[in-house]
Amino acid sequence: MVKYVIAGIIILIVVLFLLWCLHQKKQGLCPICTLKQFVCKSKLTIRIPGNEFYNGGDAPTPPMGWSSWNSFRNNIDENLIYDTAVALKESGLAEAGYKYVNLDDCWHSSVRDENGCLQGDLSLFSSGIDTLCAKINALGLKMGLYSSNGDYTCEDLPASLGYEKKDADTFARWGVEYFKYDFCHNVKIPSVAPLVEKVEIRMGEKTINLVSDDAKLSGLACINNDKRLESGKYISFLGQGKGKAEFNLDCEKNGSYPLTLVVKKSGRYTKYLIVQVNDKFYEMFFPETKAWSTVGRYQCEVELNKGENRIALFNPVCTRADSAYIQYKRMGEALRNASPDKPITYSICEWGRNNPKNWAWNAGNLWRTTPDIRPYWKWINIIYNKNLALAEFAGPGHWNDPDMLEVGNGKLTVDENRTHFSLWCMMSAPLILGNDIRKYNVDSNDDVLEILKNRQMIAIDQDELGHQCVRYKRTSKADWLVKKLSGNRHAVCIYNRTSKLTELSFNSSDLPAEITQISEYTEVWSNKKYKGQAFKIAVNPHGCAVFVSK
């Protein structure tokens, strides 16, 4: 009896699976590809040609500044921001290199203005973001803003998905020079493509119709019959990066022309298609279908050249990473175009969810590699480990971002503050302060201020080679990191992971072979000189020693 029940269940599962496959096929989807998505969710499947780094922003070395989030969350206003900017100057932090004053979430109003532009919180930033930016600039500092690659920010305020150009233009108009783009309320670009009956191009008095028989199809793309359509045929399987339809079109003169896609209506889900005309890309979105008609008309304006043109239709989005990449790149391009003369450094913040190491260097200047930082040692240590493994992806103009600093926050000890800062500098991380700095002036005799202003440590972070350190030795007690520096020098950081004072040794013969052996070092935090190939040092709990070679 049990045997029959099990056999029945198995047969039912198989039948349901086959029905599901058939349903997928009917919708123009590839069932195997859909299944694959569950297995390798965030793998980028779009090919990025060559090693094309993002060519906007200004980040030859890791950006340095301050952000409102870690200390103030949603409690910010224009006075707090301006006072912080003044404190950056008065404390000497600005002179040490911290130049961005970044407003994180909650700087803006829940309503866009009458032109559809974002605007500062109407009462907390009542003088206007442009005025605040001008005041910050007058101090010799730069302003940064924040939004999310979604319908709303993480604090549920209006965000920039679908408004990329408008918002980038607004930020540029205000004089913004740093932009952090979060991932809350993100809406994935659909992997499904519409079923295309024909492409219509209006040229003066005549309309050119390109139908399925005119197309060169590749991948899984294929032609299907449907008597209800005027041409009796449509193209399917253009989705999930698996199929493409290409057409040739002759045009009499250069110009902008309306292109209409006539699509067979199908499915209660949204669809997406890229229309590539020569080397330009046009994104098209299609709503879920609830209509009675068999076909719908969807339009965009495209640039055509005199002579032969190539039109390609495809949807390259297979995974969530593909979608994130396209959306982040869209904003990067909008920022670059909006402000060509005053570059906006572009910080991607999707918490390392979509494997940004595979694409973010092509879309922006820096990208978060981890979930949000917290001012607890255990958590900082986890974040450090995650980011450390990504050394090969960092370099001038494109940086791994293990999140903003918590130095001076929570109950971190002096050693923990020092180590946190040292590890971030060794990893060529952006140095965005997260503490309340309004209490400092140049004379403040404060451990935290001294740490953040340590010139030797900052120089390690800002070294022009832009190498992120690697761990060359690890024991149950400590990590040994080395970072190549310009001028044939290097820095070694010995980090005591234990909560006990520990004697640790440095031996230059342990260093990786490509590091030029040098036997004269200065320890950054004590400023003591060390000579010789090997020496021992007692390191405090969660503390570190950082040696810079001569």
Residues 6+ apart with CB under 8 A from 84: 66, 68, 101, 436, 437, 438
Q: How far is the CB of 104 from ligand GAL (least distance, A)?
A: 5
Q: Which is nearer to ligand GAL, 247 or 424 (CB)?
A: 424
Q: How far is the CB of 370 from ligand GAL (least distance, A)?
A: 9
3-state secondary structure of 246: strand
- At 274, the amino acid letter reads I
Residues 6+ apart with CB under 8 A from 113: 119
Q: Which is nearer to ligand GAL, 365 or 502 (CB)?
A: 365
| Residue 507: how many other CB atoms lie within 10 Å | 13
Q: How far is the CB of 78 from ligand GAL (least distance, A)?
A: 19
Q: Which is nearer to ligand GAL, 236 or 370 (CB)?
A: 370
Residues forming beta bridges with residue 284, ordered by sequence position: 273
Question: Which tokens hold the place of 157?
Answer: 């305020």
Question: Which tokens hold the place of 70?
Answer: 């870690």
Interacting residues with ligand GAL (CB under 6 A): 69, 104-105, 153-155, 182, 184, 349, 351, 372
Q: How far is the CB of 67 from ligand GAL (least distance, A)?
A: 8
Q: How far is the CB of 369 from ligand GAL (least distance, A)?
A: 11
Question: Which tokens hold the place of 387?
Answer: 């980011």
How far apart are the C-alpha atoms of 314 and 281, rounded to whole Å? Answer: 11
How far apart are the C-alpha atoms of 437 and 201, rounded to whole Å? Answer: 59
Q: How far is the CB of 154 from ligand GAL (least distance, A)?
A: 3
Q: Which is nearer to ligand GAL, 86 or 373 (CB)?
A: 373
Q: How many helices (H) and strands (E) does the chain have?
A: 13, 27
3-state secondary structure of 342: coil
Q: Which is nearer to ligand GAL, 153 or 496 (CB)?
A: 153
Q: Which residue is nearest to ligand GAL (CB)?
A: 154
How far apart are the C-alpha atoms of 243 and 519, rounded to whole Å? Answer: 59
Q: How far is the CB of 372 from ligand GAL (least distance, A)?
A: 5
CB 345 within 8 A of CB 57: yes
Residue of 387, 357, 334, 337 lying closest to 181 (CA atoms): 334
Q: Which is nearer to ligand GAL, 155 or 446 (CB)?
A: 155
Q: Which is nearer to ligand GAL, 154 or 161 (CB)?
A: 154
CB 222 within 8 A of CB 260: no
**Rg, the chain, Cα only:** 28
Residues forming beta bridges with residue 491, ordered by sequence position: 483, 548
Q: Which is nearer to ligand GAL, 257 or 351 (CB)?
A: 351
Question: Is the Cα torsion angle 370, 368, 380, 186 positive or negative in sign?
Answer: negative
Long-range contact pairs involving 200-206 (C-beta distance under 8 Å, separation at least 24): 200/259, 200/260, 200/261, 200/262, 201/249, 201/257, 201/258, 201/259, 201/260, 201/302, 201/304, 202/257, 202/258, 202/260, 203/251, 203/252, 203/257
Q: Cite the beta strand spans of 23-74 per DSSP E.
A: 64-67
Q: Which is nearer to ligand GAL, 310 or 374 (CB)?
A: 374
Q: How far is the CB of 368 from ligand GAL (least distance, A)?
A: 7
Question: Which tokens hold the place of 296?
Answer: 């719908």
Q: How far is the CB of 349 from ligand GAL (least distance, A)?
A: 5
Q: Which is nearer to ligand GAL, 349 or 426 (CB)?
A: 349
Q: How far is the CB of 54 from ligand GAL (least distance, A)?
A: 20
